[in-house]
Amino acid sequence: MQAATNLIAREGVQAVAVEPLAVALGVTKGSFYWHFKNRDELVHAALEAWEQDQSVDVVSRYAGIQDPRRRLRVLLFAAFEDVENGTFSAAVAVSSQDPRVQPYLQRATERRLAFGIEAFQALGLSEKEARERALLAFAAYAGYFQLLRTTPAAVAAVTDLSGYVRRLADALVPAKGPRRP
Residues 88-128 have pLDDT tens digits of 999 999 988 899 999 999 999 999 999 999 999 999 999 99
Q: Is 112 exposed, middle or buried (0-12, 13-18, 19+ CB in 10 A)?
A: buried
Distance (Å, whole) CA 165 – CA 170: 8
Instruction: Find how far residue 110's CA is from the centre of its chain.
Output: 11
Superfamily of domain 2-172: Tetracycline Repressor, domain 2 (1.10.357.10)
**C-alpha neighbours within 13 Å on the C-beta side of residue 139:** 7
pTM, full prediction: 0.86
Q: What is the DSSP string of the chain?
A: -HHHHHHHHHH-GGG--HHHHHHHHT--HHHHHHH-SSHHHHHHHHHHHHHIIIIIHHHHHHTT--SHHHHHHHHHHHHHH-HHHHHHHHHHHHTTTSTTTHHHHHHHHHHHHHHHHHHHHHTT--HHHHHHHHHHHHHHHHHHHHHHHH-GGGGTT---HHHHHHHHHHHHS-SSPPP--
% pLDDT > 70, the chain: 97
Residues 69-94 have pLDDT tens digits of 999 999 999 999 999 999 999 999 99
Residue 134 has pLDDT above 80, yes or no: yes
Q: What region does 65 belong to: left with phi over 0, alpha with psi -120 to 50, or beta?
A: beta
Report pLDDT for 115.
92
Report pLDDT for 177.
54
pLDDT band, very low/low/confident/very high, at 180 (cuts 50, 70, 90): very low
Report pLDDT for 34.
85
User: Could you tell me the sign of the dihedral formed by the alpha carbons of 11, 75, 132, 56, in that order?
Assistant: positive
Of 145, 139, 136, 142, nearest in space to 173 by CA = 136
Distance (Å, whole) CA 123 – CA 130: 9
Residue 137 has pLDDT above 80, yes or no: yes
Report pLDDT for 58.
82
Q: Where are the domains of the chain?
A: 2-172
Report pLDDT for 20.
85
Residue 52 has pLDDT above 60, yes or no: yes
Residue 59 has pLDDT above 90, yes or no: no
Residues 6-37 have pLDDT tens digits of 889 888 898 898 888 888 888 888 888 888 99
